[in-house]
């Protein structure tokens, strides 16, 4: 039977519960255990697909087409276990499911209540597909005390009774702030947070204390005394030099040993952390440095491009170089006085990421033009590929009014909304004016690469599968004039209808992809496109 680890947070948000869950899972995995991580999100959105990146950060997409919380990206990057739709649930999805059942009459006239109906639905989610696992880690979003998270807290309290106390462990992540004026670490916020949690029926087994300063033995003993846990179960979590150093740091603090002891298991032999040692070695012993200009729309919040940021770092690991990312607001290049060349000349490579809407599009097109003309390595992802096609149409294919139907009617729609496509489930259709949520081309789709193409040499194969998240596609009817202008369609959907990859053979490194390769990159297995892109940036740095 699978054992459950429930992770809650207190005091403030953004303490790193997701990173902690991913790191603990990686440590247990390094001991040979089979793990899976799940996220309970208390907000009422059905999923984050319609939320602004400024509200929620990036939307992480799984192979099976779920739009999920960005923490699932951490889970995948740290464990290599592919996330799926059943690994993320929101209050909105739970209530949607319950109301649908109530309208059908499934409850046979009963009064539908938070307890037991909502809590039962949450428990059913937690217990789905766990038979082949040793540990299931469940992260509860938000902060203990939030009204939104109360049904989830109650559900995991009940789950301990359902599956047995020896099969559950509660970990509470708290803050131990340093008050500079007093010159002291303060344990009272942690005490109050644990008191709030225990008032809801949950006594934590382990406390993970986030702190900027080492936690003295006296404070550790004080927290243990007032929070009713063993002193060894009070784990300090100092800021790390890299997120990929966190598993090593938590192991050194004894987190994985303490979790196993809480389950009544002997820790046994230490975990094999060789892959994490290698990652840190590559970060510390670099052989160069490159600067990547990312020209995007949501650059004010780096979490909007979290997987992209990490994939670039992974490309640096593959090449043993430090990657500096210069986040550039695409709208700046739309100002009359803007100097695109002055801003981009210091860059060793340019990347235009995905996004939605017209804002900043002309700035992105200007960035593509600069990269093409100056022979600077260029990588366009999703909307970035579409902007590369529009730029090529305007400036090398003679289609001066090239545009996207996403930006309004008129002009030549080099990019248009996709109304139907084939998936493993069969023909998928979208109606104009329909719901926005969950109506994109989502999840993993196969593509066929041209055998003599640059991307085929990068992948080492002509058949790939990558994750998508978009409503608009490059119009294949414009393939001939675009290719005549030097922009080659080197990757297509298996039926030959949908363009997946474009490249310029006369350019040192110019690739646009309709999918999101960053979603499948891992520190111990960098995505080949990012590894090759950073390699091209290294070569460019030697020319500057």
516 classed as catalytic: yes
314 classed as catalytic: no
Residue 233 CA neighbour count, 13 Å, CB half: 20
Residue 488 is inside which H or E element, if any? strand 488-492
Q: Count Cβ neighbours within 10 Å for each residue of 397-430 and write b for 16 or more, e otherwise.
A: bebeebbbebbeeeebbbbbebeebeeeeeebeb
Please give the span between the terminal C-alpha atoms of the chain, in angstroms, as a whole number: 59
Strands (E), 22-158: 35-41, 60-61, 67-68, 88-90, 135-140
Q: Does the CA dihedral 469-475-479-483 come out positive or negative?
A: negative
Looking at 58, 253, 258, 518, which residue is catalytic? 518
Strands 402-404 and 88-90 turn out to be: unpaired
Rounded Cα gap, residues 372 and 511, in angstroms:
11
The DSSP 8-state label assigned to residue 81 in this structure reads P
Which among 38, 44, 191, 202 has a CA at the least distance from the CA of 127? 38
DSSP string, 461-477: SSEEEEEEEESEEE-GG
Looking at 382, 389, 507, 527, which residue is catalytic? 382
Rounded Cα gap, residues 464 and 236, in angstroms:
43
Q: What phi and psi values does residue 23 have, to the nearest 5 degrees?
A: -70, -45
Question: What angle (nearest 5°) sits at the alpha carbon of residue 216, between those of residues 210 and 221?
Answer: 90
Q: What phi and psi values does residue 343 have, to the nearest 5 degrees?
A: -75, -35
The DSSP 8-state label assigned to residue 115 in this structure reads I
| Pair 295, 328: CB distance under 8 Å | yes
Q: What phi and psi values does residue 226 have, to the nearest 5 degrees?
A: -80, -20
Q: What is the residue whose two structure tokens read 């995505």?
A: 527
Q: What is the residue whose two structure tokens read 């979003």?
A: 141
Question: What angle (nearest 5°) sits at the alpha carbon of residue 222, between those of residues 219 and 223?
Answer: 90
How many CB atoms are located within 10 Å of the residue 361 CB?
Answer: 23
In sequence order, which residues have a C-beta less than 8 Å from that of residue 435 and are 6 or more positions away?
A: none
| Pair 522, 509: CB distance under 8 Å | no
Beta bridge mates, 349: 292
| Pair 393, 482: CB distance under 8 Å | yes
Which among 441, 390, 382 has a CA at the least distance from the CA of 415? 390
As a dihedral over the C-alpha atoms of residue 472, residue 478, residue 483, residue 485, rounded to 10 degrees, the angle is -100
Looking at 117, 172, 468, 516, which residue is catalytic? 516
Catalytic residues: 382, 516, 518
């Amino acid at each position: 039977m699978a054992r459950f680890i429930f992770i809650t947070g207190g005091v403030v948000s953004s303490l790193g519960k997701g990173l902690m869950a991913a790191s603990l899972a990686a440590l247990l995995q390094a001991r040979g255990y089979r793990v899976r991580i799940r996220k309970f999100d208390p907000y009422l959105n059905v999923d984050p697909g319609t939320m602004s990146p400024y509200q929620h950060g990036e939307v992480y997409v799984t192979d099976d087409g779920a739009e999920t919380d960005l923490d699932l990206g951490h889970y995948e990057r740290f464990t290599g276990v592919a996330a799926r739709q059943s690994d993320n649930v929101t209050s909105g999805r739970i209530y949607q499911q319950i109301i649908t059942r109530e309208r059908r009459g499934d409850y046979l006239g009963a009064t539908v209540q938070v307890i037991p109906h909502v809590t039962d639905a949450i428990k059913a989610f937690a217990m789905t597909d766990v038979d082949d696992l040793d540990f299931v880690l469940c992260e509860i979003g938000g902060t203990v005390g939030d009204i939104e998270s109360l049904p989830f807290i109650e559900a995991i309290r009940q789950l301990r009774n359902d599956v047995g106390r020896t099969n559950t462990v509660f970990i509470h992540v708290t803050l131990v702030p340093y008050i500079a004026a007093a010159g002291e670490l303060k344990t009272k916020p942690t005490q109050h947070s644990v008191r709030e949690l225990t008032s809801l029926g949950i006594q934590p087994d382990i406390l993970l204390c986030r702190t900027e300063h080492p936690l003295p033995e006296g404070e550790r003993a004080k927290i243990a005394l007032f929070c009713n846990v063993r002193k060894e179960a009070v784990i300090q979590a100092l800021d790390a030099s890299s997120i990929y150093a966190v598993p090593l740091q938590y192991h050194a603090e004894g987190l994985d040993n303490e979790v196993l002891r809480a389950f009544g298991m002997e820790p046994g032999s230490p975990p094999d952390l060789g892959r994490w040692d290698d990652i840190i070695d590559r970060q510390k012993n670099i052989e160069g440095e490159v600067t990547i200009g990312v020209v995007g729309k949501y650059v004010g919040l780096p979490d909007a491009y979290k997987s992209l940021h990490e994939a670039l770092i992974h490309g640096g690991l593959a090449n043993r170089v430090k990657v500096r990312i210069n986040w550039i607001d695409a709208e700046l290049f739309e100002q009359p006085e803007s100097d695109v060349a002055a801003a981009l000349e210091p860059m060793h490579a340019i990347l235009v990421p995905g996004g939605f809407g017209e804002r900043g599009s002309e700035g992105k097109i200007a960035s593509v033009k600069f990269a093409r003309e100056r022979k600077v390595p260029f990588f366009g992802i999703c909307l970035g590929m579409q902007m590369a096609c529009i730029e090529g149409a305007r400036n090398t294919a003679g289609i001066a009014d090239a545009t996207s139907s996403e930006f309004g009617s008129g002009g030549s729609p080099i990019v248009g909304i996709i109304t139907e496509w084939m998936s493993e489930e069969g023909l998928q259709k979208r109606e104009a004016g329909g719901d926005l949520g969950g109506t994109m081309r989502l999840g993993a789709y196969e593509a066929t690469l041209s055998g003599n193409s640059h991307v085929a040499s990068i992948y080492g194969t002509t058949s790939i599968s990558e994750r998508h998240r978009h409503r608009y596609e490059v119009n294949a009817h414009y393939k001939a004039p675009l290719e005549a202008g030097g922009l080659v369609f080197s990757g297509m959907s298996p039926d030959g209808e949908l363009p997946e990859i474009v490249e310029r053979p006369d350019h040192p490194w110019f690739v646009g992809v309709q999918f999101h390769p960053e979603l499948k990159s891992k520190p111990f297995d960098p995505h080949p496109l990012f590894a090759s892109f950073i390699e091209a940036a290294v070569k460019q740095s030697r020319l500057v």
